[in-house]
Structure 1
Amino acid sequence: MAFTLTTGAPALVIGGPPRVNLMPRAEVERRQRSGLLRRWLWGLVAALAVVVLAVAAAFVLQAAAAVRLVTEQARTTTLLSQIAELQPVSKKLALQDELSGFRSQAMATDLVWSNLVGAVEPALPAGVSLTGFALVPGGAPVGDDPTAELGASGQLTLTSTAPTEIVAVVRSLREVPGIRTVDVWSAQSDEAGFAYTLRITYNQSFYTGAYAAEVTE
C-alpha cells in the first residue's frame, strides 16, 4: 500500500513499484549514436535532393536559353542576308539623293531667259526695241523672300530710229516688278539709228525653282 506525504513541496510518492534502468550504458550510447546518424542521413538526403532540383532547374533554364540563342542567331543571319541583298538598292538610292542634291545646287539659279526679256519689252515706248542682252544668273537663294535677293544681272541693248528720251525709259523700267535697278551705260548713234546700253539687275523672283521643288518633294 502506497502513502503520499504532502508538505507543500513536490509530492513524494512512497511505496510505489521500483523502477530500475537495467540497459547497459554502452547500449544507450549506441542507440543515441544511431538516432543521430539517422538524422544526419536524412539531412544529407534532403540536401542532395535540393541540389539535384537546383541542378535540374538550371539545366532546364540553360537549355531554354540555348534554344532562344539559336533562334535569335538564325533570325540575325536572315536579317543580315536580307540587308546584304538590299545594299545595291541602298547604294543606288544614296547615289540618287546625292545627284539630286548636286543638281538642286547647280540648278538653283535656273532661269527662263525669255521671261527676263518679256518683263522689259512691255515697258518700252513705241519705236524702241530690245535688240540684245548679255545677262548672267545671280547667287543661289538663301532666304524665303526671292524679291529681296539679287538675281540675274547684265546689259540690255535698245535701239530706235529716232532720238529717245532714255531717262524716261529707265524710269519706266524701274517700275517693272522683278527689276531691282536700271542705269544708262552708254548711248551712241550712227546712220542706222540710235543705240542705248543699259545696266540692269533683277531679283530672284524670275528663278524657276523647279529643281528645288523636285528635291523637296
Structure 2
Amino acid sequence: MTAVAVPFSGAPRVNLMPRSEIARRERESLVRMWVWIVLGAIVVAVLIIAGAFAFKFLADQRLVAEQARTNVLLTEIASLSEVSQALATESELTDFRTDAMATDLAWTPVIAKISGVLPAETTITGVDFTVGGVPQGEDPTVEQGIVGTVTFDSPTPLDIVALIRSLRGVEGVLYADGQSVTSSQVSEDRFSYLLNVEFDQSVYSNEYAAEEGGD
C-alpha cells in the first residue's frame, strides 16, 4: 500500500498561547476602543458647549449695542419733548380758535350788500344781528348765518315793497321780512324804516377756519 504525502508550505506553527490570555487581550482592545469613543464624545461635547458660549457672547454683545442705541434714541426723544408739547398745545389752541371763531362775521360786506340796494341819501342808522349756528355742511348758502334788523332813514318816503324785493335779491340774503316794516317821521325831513333780514353763512369771514387737509 502506497502512503500519500501531505504537502506543507512552510514550517509548521502551533499557537501555544492560553485561551485566557487571548480573552484578556481582546478585552483590553475593546476597552481601548471605548475609551477613544468616550474621549471623542467628550471632545465633541466640549466643542458644542464652546460654540454655544461663543454664540451667547456675540448675542450679548449685540444686545448691549441695541440697548445703548435705544438709550441714545430715548435721550433724543426726551430732548424733543418740550417741542412736542409746544406743538400739541399750539394744535389745541388752533382747534379751539377754529371752533370759537367759526361764526366770525365779515361785517363790511354785509353792510355793503344792504346799503347797495338803498336809494341815494339813505343812511343806515343801526343794525341788530344775532349770529346763527356753526357751519355743518359744505354749502354755506343753505344754513342761517345771521338774523336781525336793519334801521335806516331817508329824506323822502321810500317804496318799501320795492326795496324789500331788491333786498331779497341780494346775494347771501335768505329772507327779508316786509310785514314787520315800520316807518316813522323822525324829523321834518327824515323818515325812519325798520326791516327784518336774514343772511346765510356765506357772510361768515372763515378767517379762522381749519385749513383743508390739516389736522
Distance 1:82 1:15 in 2: 97
Matched, 1:145 2:149: no
Matched, 1:58 2:52: yes
Q: Deviations over 1:82-104 (max 9, x none)?
A: 11111111111100000000001
Pairing partner for 2:183 from 188, 192, 203 = 188
Q: Is the 8 A contact 2:147 2:198 kept in 1?
A: yes
SS in 2 for 1:173: helix
Indicate the structure whose relative CO is greater, using CA pairs within 8 Å and at least 6 residues apart.
2
Q: Deviations over 1:110-143 (max 9, x none)?
A: 1121111101111123453322111132211111
| Structure 2 unmatched runs, 5+ | none
Mapping of residues 34-183 of structure 1, within 5 Å: 34-183=28-177
Give the direction of change, closer, same or farther, for the CA distance of 1:16–1:90 in structure 2 (3 Å limit). same
Corresponding pairs, count: 207
Q: Is the 8 A contact 1:151 1:206 kept in 2?
A: yes
Distance 2:87 2:210 in 1: 19
Give the direction of change, closer, same or farther, for the CA distance of 1:25–1:86 in structure 2 (3 Å limit). same
SS in 2 for 1:211: coil
Letter paired with 2:209? A
SS in 2 for 1:157: strand
Letter paired with 1:2? V
Q: Is the 8 A contact 1:100 1:215 kept in 2?
A: no
Q: Per residue, is there more helix in 1 or in 2?
A: 1
RMSD: 2.2
Q: Is the 8 A contact 1:104 1:215 kept in 2?
A: no
Alignment partner, residue 2 of structure 1: 6
Post-superposition shift, 1:19? Answer: 6.0
Distance 1:74 1:152 in 2: 62
Post-superposition shift, 1:20? Answer: 4.3
Give the direction of change, closer, same or farther, for the CA distance of 1:15–1:176 in structure 2 (3 Å limit). closer
Alignment partner, residue 201 of structure 1: 198
Post-superposition shift, 1:201? Answer: 0.9
Post-superposition shift, 1:186? Answer: 3.5
Question: What TM-score, normalized by structure 2, do the two folds share?
Answer: 0.87
Give the direction of change, closer, same or farther, for the CA distance of 1:151–1:170 in structure 2 (3 Å limit). same
Q: Is the 8 A contact 1:187 1:194 kept in 2?
A: no
| Structure 1 unmatched runs, 5+ | 4-13
**Identity across matched positions, percent:** 44
Letter paired with 1:142? Q
Distance 1:203 1:33 in 2: 114
Give the direction of change, closer, same or farther, for the CA distance of 1:42–1:78 in structure 2 (3 Å limit). same
Further displaced range: 185-194 or 115-124: 185-194
Q: Deviations over 1:51-72 (max 9, x none)?
A: 0110110111111011111111
